[in-house]
Amino acid sequence: MEEFDIGIVGAGPGGYTAALHAANKGKSVVLFEKDEIGGVCLNKGCIPTKSILHSSEVYAQTINCTELGICTGEVKLDYSKVQERKTQVIEKLRKGIELALKNAKVKLIKEEAKIENENEISTKSEKYNCKKIICATGSSPRIIKGLEFDGEFILSSDDILNLQTLPKSILIVGSGAIGLEWARIMSNFGVQTTIIEMAQHLLPIADIEVSKRVERIFKTKKIPFYLNTSIKKIENKEVTLSNEEVLHPEKILVATGRIPNIIDNKVDGVKYIGDVTGQIQLAHFAIKEAIEETDLIPFRKDLTPSVIYGTPEIAWAGKREQDLEAGTFEKTTTLISALGKSLCDNETEGFIKLLTQDKKIIGVHIVSKEASSLLQQVLIAMQNDITIDKLKEVCFAHPTYSEGIFESLFKIN
């Protein structure tokens, strides 16, 4: 039986990061992957959706660019090229990871693996002895009764990535990150898009004011949505909602969450990281959990950032207003439309909201172009307990969206 310091099942962001970091620390590592290197993030998640989203945004901007003084001829969409580019992006990144694993001398076994006990992993043909085992097997789309995926009419987030042509209309079930990003993609491409959400607000995991702003943005973009609504039945492609309204979408995307891929049962002594833990199902969470394990660098799980991509971006970290007791915190909101850069860019939608306690930021909620990068600046301050007064000493460049953070600081008493 071959012996290794570390055996890792699953080569998504959690698994490959753990493999690379452990190997770079001189450990012998064996990594098992039954599908493609890169996991959901690279092959079916973050990267392909953001590649298609980018195409959709350029398309929508090009159609609407006369306001900026640019006149185009007829703008044509070739969705097969959008798909082709997405595949090229994935392949380029995958080659990079494969090369890094090879250079780090990680032994890669492209087979389904089973964790037999805390020191043994098996494939169909071999057994491997490992001093330590990390399970990073990820997650899969949740199947809802009555909304089982058929790959044709009722689609999962995996199925929708491989559509070769765009539908005329789509019903998106669920308004989390995946649902909202696909709603943006589809509507940018001119697909008639409708969202249904069981909760009281769109993006129910966000700060309440972010949810409300998202609703306003979707209304302005003429993307209809139903709140407190579910699907009652589907018959012959006719969808009856819980409010008895009947819709006839060409496709349905079900984006109602993901379930951990627990292989067999949880094994004591094995370290589980990333989506399989069923905690925070984000790539950077999986990556940080891997690094916590291999490099012993701890991280604040309660400060894991969330980002919804598209125009404008939506990003947050830390406490939400609805989680805090009235009178125990301060709140400041700066409108993005007040910033010179936003007017120059014609991207005035959104706000920067800071929640503070004792002159320290405990929550940040941003709806803005570049929100994903803006968030990171505030997060560094939060992680390091930097006070508002200390942050005021920082020089923020002009004109930028980050000036919105600077302005917010002076509104806090």
Ligand X SMILES: Cc1cc2nc3c(=O)[nH]c(=O)nc-3n(C[C@H](O)[C@H](O)[C@H](O)COP(=O)(O)OP(=O)(O)OC[C@H]3O[C@@H](n4cnc5c(N)ncnc54)[C@H](O)[C@@H]3O)c2cc1C
Q: Which residues bind ligand X (CB under 6 A)?
A: 9-15, 32-35, 39-41, 44-46, 49, 112-113, 136-139, 157, 178, 261, 263, 274-276, 281-284, 286
CA angle 391, 392, 395 (to 5 degrees): 90
Which residues, 6 or more positions from 11, have their beta carbon under 8 angstroms from its beta carbon?
Answer: 19, 31, 32, 33, 37, 38, 39, 97, 101, 108, 136
The residue whose Cβ lies closest to ligand X is: 138
CB count within 10 Å of CB 68 equals 10
Residue 126 beta carbon to ligand X: minimum distance, rounded to whole angstroms: 13
Backbone angles phi, psi at 223, to 5 degrees: -105, 105
Residue 81 beta carbon to ligand X: minimum distance, rounded to whole angstroms: 21
Q: Which is nearer to ligand X, 276 or 364 (CB)?
A: 276
Q: Which is nearer to ligand X, 17 or 408 (CB)?
A: 17
Residue 83 beta carbon to ligand X: minimum distance, rounded to whole angstroms: 15
Q: Which is nearer to ligand X, 57 or 330 (CB)?
A: 57
Residue 10 beta carbon to ligand X: minimum distance, rounded to whole angstroms: 3
Residue 24 beta carbon to ligand X: minimum distance, rounded to whole angstroms: 18
Residue 312 beta carbon to ligand X: minimum distance, rounded to whole angstroms: 15
Q: Which is nearer to ligand X, 313 or 349 (CB)?
A: 313
Encoding tokens for residue 392? 């005021």
Asked whether 318 and 303 are in contact (CB, 8 A), the reply is: yes
Backbone angles phi, psi at 384, to 5 degrees: -105, 15
Residue 48 beta carbon to ligand X: minimum distance, rounded to whole angstroms: 8
Own/partner long-range contacts of 390-398 (Cβ < 8 Å, ≥24 apart): 398/340
Q: Which is nearer to ligand X, 172 or 388 (CB)?
A: 172
Backbone angles phi, psi at 261, to 5 degrees: -90, 80
Q: Which is nearer to ligand X, 139 or 256 (CB)?
A: 139
Q: Which is nearer to ligand X, 167 or 339 (CB)?
A: 167
- For residues 31 and 298, what is the distance between their CA atoms, to the nearest angstrom? 23
- In order of 97, 183, 207, 229, 290, the CA distances from 365 in angstroms are 33, 21, 7, 26, 27
Residues forming beta bridges with residue 225, ordered by sequence position: 195
